[in-house]
Amino acid sequence: MRPAPTQKLFDDRSILMILGVAYAMSACSIRAVTFLPAEIDGCGSGLACAVDDAGSGTESAADGRTDIVAADGARDVAPEVAADVEPESRPDTPPDIAQDVVIEAPVDQSASEGAVDTAGNAGDDGTNDASDASDDSSPTPPEGVCGNGVREGSEECDDGMADSATCNGPAAGPLAGCRFPRCGDGYVNAAAGEQCDTAGDTPRCNGPAGGPVGCRFSVCGDGYVNPTTDEECDSVSAVDTSSCNRSPSAGPPPIGCRLSRCGDRYLNAAAGEECDRGSVDTDSCNGPAAGSVGCKVPRCGDGYVNAAAQEACDDGNTSPCGTCSADCTTSQPGLDCPPGTPCTSNADCNGICSAGLCVAAD
């Protein structure tokens, strides 16, 4: 008798299903081995997820993950959620909070930059990016440390912490420090001979227009007419001139460094004055009203009647002829004076008074 055939434990369909499950489990195991260690990719949960195209330079959108390869030369459009594999030697410029493996070049100089780099950008694209791989704009030289004795950056000089005759020290501030001293820069550099420093003339200080006496106190005698003061003239020589009271005895304005005037109570001999008693006649000095003989000692015959000097008349001569006595004390009928006699009117002459002298009538 033939033995009974062995009963199948699994039919063909069951076998195929078992093989499919085994294959799927094997594939999942391989996938887990491949991706689960990639926790630096930002997943953190152990679940599989995609990684960046490391080093491809072709990223075009933010993936919100950390690159897993240190040589990634590309950058994400938006800030990454964690630092890259290796820190760089200098920090990124906000808003980029991630650190790239490749050291960046200096950031752009424009203060208006606000957007991060586009993916993979490694060249000068003419745009203002916050942390470009290259510097789009021309870099400015680094600012020096004023006062360290070394001329750096935009400094014109650096002689250390103290002012010198040729260099402002750091006390001059960020605008004038480590710059050549300039009258008008707003900083008083005593080592450079400055006593004051203003952008223009003031009643106290000569501005840059003062030349060699610029940024020095305005004084009568410095040779510079400071228009904000009462000065009308000024000379470095301490002597009066025919037009300017300049002697030290004249003092400051309103007498010194003023035009010489009869009646200013200052005797300026260079201007022809013999006396100056102010604006009125005195027994010893004709006042400004005397005209050409003002600020001169009264004289009978000078043509000006100075009542304070006891004169009753003055016909311009000391002769008994004319309309005034020889001593200018008594008026008289016109007595004809010969030609050549000083006179003040035709009544004084036997003829005509012309240019202060009697001349014969035609």
What pLDDT does residue 142 have?
57
Beta-bridge partner residues of 354: 357
What does the DSSP assignment read for 187-250?
---GGGT-S---SS--SSB--GGGGGGTTSB--TTSS---TTTT-S---SSSS--SSB--SGGG
What does the DSSP assignment read for 93-114?
PTT--S--SSPPPPPPS-TT--
User: Both tokens of residue 123?
Assistant: 């060249």
What pLDDT does residue 332 have?
86
Phi and psi angles of residue 333, each rounded to the nearest 5 degrees, phi first: -60, 150
Question: For 107-152, what is each residue's pLDDT tens digit?
Answer: 443 333 434 444 344 444 445 444 444 444 444 555 679 999 999 9
3-state secondary structure of 352: strand
Q: Is the pLDDT of residue 92 over 60?
A: no
Distance of alpha carbon 251 from alpha carbon 266, whole angstroms:
10
Which runs of E-coded beta strand occur in the chain?
A: 322-324, 331-335, 351-354, 357-360
> Domain spans of the chain?
56-105, 148-194, 199-260, 322-360
Question: For 161-200, what is each residue's pLDDT tens digit?
Answer: 999 999 999 999 999 999 999 999 999 999 999 999 999 9
**Between 326 and 216, whose confidence is greater?**
216
Beta-bridge partner residues of 129: 115
User: Both tokens of residue 266?
Assistant: 């200052």
Question: For 31-75, what is each residue's pLDDT tens digit?
Answer: 333 333 333 334 443 333 344 544 444 444 455 555 554 444 444
What pLDDT does residue 107 have?
40
Question: For 241-281, what is each residue's pLDDT tens digit?
Answer: 999 999 989 998 999 999 999 999 999 999 999 999 999 99
What pLDDT does residue 344 have?
86
What pLDDT does residue 94 have?
53
